[in-house]
Amino acid sequence: MCITIIGSLNYDIVTTVKKVPQAGETIMATSFDTHIGGKGLNQTVAIAKLCKALPVRIIGHVGNDSFGKEILEALGSYNVNTNYVKVLPGEANERTGTATIIVEEGGQNRIMVTPGANQFTKYTPTELSQLFSITEDIEYVVLQNEIPDPFNIIRWLHEMKPEYPIIYNPSPFNACEVPNEIWNFIDILIVNEIEALQIIEKVLPHRYAEVNQKIKVDWQHGYTTIAFLLVQEVINKDSKGTVILTLGSRGCIYAGPGTPISYTPAVKVGRVVDTTGAGDTFLGGVVSQLVQGVSLQEAVSFATVASSLAIQKEGASSSTPAFEDVIYEQSKLR
């Protein structure tokens, strides 16, 4: 068994400010830093840090530049298999993808992504057959929306490798128009509160106003309704699909086979430093546990603690805690 992530690899350029400037305004920033990043990379590092028992590989593209070199070296340091990351020659449109991130002192962030080499992370059926011919083992496959066409990959996996669980994080949601049939091919759907509403608006537009009003009256009841709709009417896999809906500081709602819709509160922390890596750390925590056979409830609990540790540090992939740190923190919370 192994875990494959197909996704973006970016270089993050991070500026911290007291408050985001208005249009036309120039301000003094409080700090500047750089990190490796991209949703594909962040999720890969999170899984590798939090699941040392299974091999992890990433499939994607970087440019032939200093950013790409640093990314590959960093992934190697986490024992991630990078043999399937293609290094492009380095023309202007083939440079390593970048993300410009502005972080306010309260931890809220704004992110602007330049795809660069990530725009080439798309594959023909023949190429996919080659990428997934290396093992007879079951592979868990993780995808997001920072690559051009994740849907072609999901469709191919559903048809050619139906035994492979597909984990889909449709973020950023507006990056792609998701064909409606794709939702039925997803085994584990992980979304935040904004993405969940966007899915309802697109797939079940007749229910959008209703759930939006429910959220305004009682947010937990409203998002529980959304989770129910995502399970029953969106992924609709004869009760075999799993939905995990993250709510930031309010916690998480989830449901899956044998697990009724449930709620786990967030772990309270003293000071939020940077929320950039919270979602990807959470996903890494969930995946790292589910592939090892733990229950959905236990996986969500583990991921919630991991995410709470991540937001107390700066950076995205660099903020993800080690497995041992999460276990220690869990022992303190019991």
Regions of the chain short of the pLDDT cut 70: 90, 92, 134-136, 175-176, 239
Length of the chain, in residues:
334
Q: Does 16 appear as a known binding residue? A: no
Give the angle 48-245-189 at the CA atoms, nearest 5°: 60
Q: Is 268 annotated as a binding residue?
A: no
How far is residue 91's CA from residue 88's CA, in Å, rounded to a whole number? 8
- In this prediction, residue 319 carries a pLDDT of 87
Place of tokens 């007879």: 136
pLDDT attached to residue 239: 65
255 is known to lie in a ligand binding site = no
CA–CA dist 327, 334 (Å, integer):
11
Strand partners, 252: 246, 264
Give the pLDDT confidence score for residue 304 in this predicted structure.
96
Taking every pair of Cα atoms in the chain, the longest distance, rounded to a whole number of angstroms, is 57
Q: Bridge partners of 114?
A: 98
Tokens of 165: 């669980």
40 assigned to a ligand binding site:
yes
How far is residue 235's CA from residue 247's CA, in Å, rounded to a whole number?
A: 20
Tell me how far apart the alpha carbons of residues 51 and 62 are, in angstroms, rounded to a whole number. 25
DSSP result, 283-312: HHHHHHHHTTT--HHHHHHHHHHHHHHHTT
At residue 130, what are phi and psi to the nearest 5 degrees? -70, -40
The whole-model pTM stands at 0.90
Q: Which domains does the chain have, with CATH numbers?
A: 2-17+34-187 (3.40.1190.20)
pLDDT at 297: 96
Whether residue 308 is annotated as binding a ligand: the answer is no
What's the pLDDT at 1?
81
Structure tokens at 17: 């400010």
Give the per-residue pLDDT at 180: 87
pLDDT of 291 reads 93
Q: Residue 7, Cα to own-chain centre: how many angstroms?
A: 10
| Paired tokens of 139 | 């592979």
pLDDT at res. 270: 85
pLDDT score of 317: 83
pLDDT for 315 equals: 74
Spatial strand order of the sheet with 85-88 comes to 85-88, 56-63, 2-6, 139-144, 166-169, 188-192, 242-246, 252-256, 259-264
Residues with catalytic annotation?
A: 280
Tell me the CB-side half-sphere exposure of residue 7, using CA atoms within 13 A.
28
Q: Which two tokens stand for residue 197?
A: 């509403």
